[in-house]
Structure 1
């Protein structure tokens, strides 16, 4: 029997790699003769870069960048075999980089993310994957595009810095100085956000408040975003503001689609393709996946649904181990997952569950394999 392990990390307690190690230990306790294989996966959000770099034995490159508030800091991106790069926006422009008291999307910029992209192209890389979760920005991607040489000008011809409050000042766009390698480079954006750029379901009104925007800020940002988008679309001859995913990462999705001709793909599907998951399924009898918390969202672009659907297509049973189950988790059964085992084995608070994560996970994995063993003995 061959068992494949492909679980997401349990945020704050267990990495994808450690989960796979615990699954391997549990499997061999119950099935000593089983063949096991581990594959590290993630859904395109924070942590995806580390997962992909480790799985593919890539390397890291660290460079100085501008942070969300324009401060000097350092950020890393991954370099993969085949001259590919994987970039996480959160490394340079993430919400976690801004102290809570200073969070204000009128002031934050995605400039540092553009610096990472530019550096990758300077290294000769022409295939770039960009994860755009966890952003601190609502600048429509102006900052990132400015770092790539695009000039956003006000009505007096002065160059704008590219933060949220600059959106409404954009009068024209000059792309003549755009990094020359852009035209030679393939950009893939990893995101499962389906929001358009504008409107009640757009970047500003959906995500602005959690980034520190007040009601007044939201109105200013939305008005500015509409002006910026109209001018950008006219300059590039495109209509991308209404496209699903344009509103991701405070509008960075819009900028990548509009100026870089990026392709927007599901994060988990992109990662599964990168790690050649379908190839690893060949000869596999059982797959174990999971995540820290399973609810209705698990069926939409998360690791268990991505893995489960690939297994379903291949006719291979898949089971999941999760830290906890919340409302709507059972929808995962429509995504190729046959059963879910929880790590919580008694009354405890989150703090205790996190502190005992390894012990609880190993116990849950053993219970899962023992249940499978019973099923195999039934006549």
Structure 2
């Protein structure tokens, strides 16, 4: 039997590759002759760097950059040397989890560090980028990132505007005289699963501003500044379109990428599936294993395990999923190509105990073993039944 595993991380417990290896161990206990291939899986958000670096023979990089409030932070990203590809999660440089609730203030938080990570990767020879932009603490329209890449976002005195959304209030000119060498050669795939536009009731300030610390008055101000920013950009950058779906992602970072770089916004899971060429591996498999930390109704809405299941069904392959826990509405996953799913908890336990990596790995391996013992028994019975 040839089995391909592609499991999303069990956040707080196991990485994608660790989960896959735990499944492989369980399969081989039940069927030592099985061929099991472990492939990485992520949805473009947290865990994407770890999954793709671990599953595609990449190298992890660490670089000290400007954090969301101007203090230095260490950001991890990955490089796949074979393709000159950098894998970046913007949240590593400008994420909301880098701040305490009291520190959140979109007037001051900046994406400058994101640009510094990109610059570091360019200097190391990367020209292809996969950038996950979820979990941002910012609402600066991406100008901080662009400033780090050499764009001028200038005030009336011809100086760079301040960090954060308040910098947009000072903006009078955008220049390209000092854009770093190599940026024009780069292409960006932006993992973006939201469709919000830049301004208005469905814009980034109104929809996501509150969770980043914005008050109602801030939201009104920032939305006005974004409108002026977009109008200024449209004068000299023909790709600027603040009404394009996704331009409001990550506090306007989507707009910055689409307007000022060679970028496309795509579903995170679609990018990962394409980059890892998972379909090529599924095509040769007899069975596909997927899963995530919690399988529920949201999974069926297009999360990573369903993306795997869709590929498998394209080639007529059966799909089994494992999860740390499942909810009643997880049964909708059966309608999306997951033929059967199994929770891995094997007894009464606390959440803290269940999420301990050692326990999660053991539970996943042991559950997999029993499922594959059943499959092996069923196969034997089928052969001997007249």
TM-score (normalised: structure 2) = 0.91
- Provide the rounded CA distance (Å) in 2 between the counterparts of 1:111 and 1:327: 43
**Whole-Å Cα distance in 2 between the matches of residues 297 and 235 of structure 1?**
41
CA distance in 1, matches of 2:296, 2:197: 24
Give the superposition deviation at 1:302.
2.0
Aligned match of 2:369:
366
Q: Residue in 1 aligned with 2:360?
A: 357
Greater mean alpha carbon deviation, residues 32-41 or residues 209-218: 209-218
State how 1:58-137 maps to structure 2 within 5 Å.
58-80=58-80, 81-137=82-138
User: 1:166, 1:224 within 8 Å by CA — same for their partners in 2?
Assistant: no
Q: Aligned-residue CA RMSD in angstroms? A: 2.0
Q: Secondary structure at the match of 1:337?
A: coil
Task: Mark the CA change 1:70 to 1:2 in structure 2 (over 3 Å): closer, same or farther.
Answer: same
Aligned to 1:325: 326
- Residue 102 of structure 1 and its aligned partner are, at CA, apart by 0.8
Once the two structures are TM-superposed, the CA of residue 239 in structure 1 deviates from its matched residue by 4.2
Q: 1:141-290, aligned counterparts within 5 Å?
A: 141-290=142-291
Question: Within 1, Cα distance between the matches of 2:336 and 2:262?
Answer: 31
| 1:6 aligned partner | 6
**Secondary structure of 1:296's partner?**
coil
3-state secondary structure, aligned to 1:287? strand
- Alpha-carbon contact 2:15-2:47 (below 8 Å) kept: no
1:182, CA displacement in angstroms? 2.0
How much has 1:370 moved relative to structure 2?
4.0
User: 2: CA distance between counterparts of 1:43 and 1:21?
Assistant: 19
* 1:156 Cα deviation after fit: 4.4
Structure 1 pair 54–164 and aligned structure 2 pair: CA distance change class (3 A): same
Deviation at 1:68, TM superposition (A): 0.6
For the residue of structure 1 that corresponds to 2:339, the secondary structure is strand
Gaps of 5+ in 2: none
Give per-residue Cα distances to partners, 1:183-242, cap 9 Å, x unaligned: 211111122222222223322222222222222222222222222122223321234222
1:6 counterpart SS class: strand
Conserved in 1, the CA contact under 8 Å of 2:108 and 2:163?
A: no
Cα distance change on mapping 1:50 and 1:211 into 2, 3 Å: same
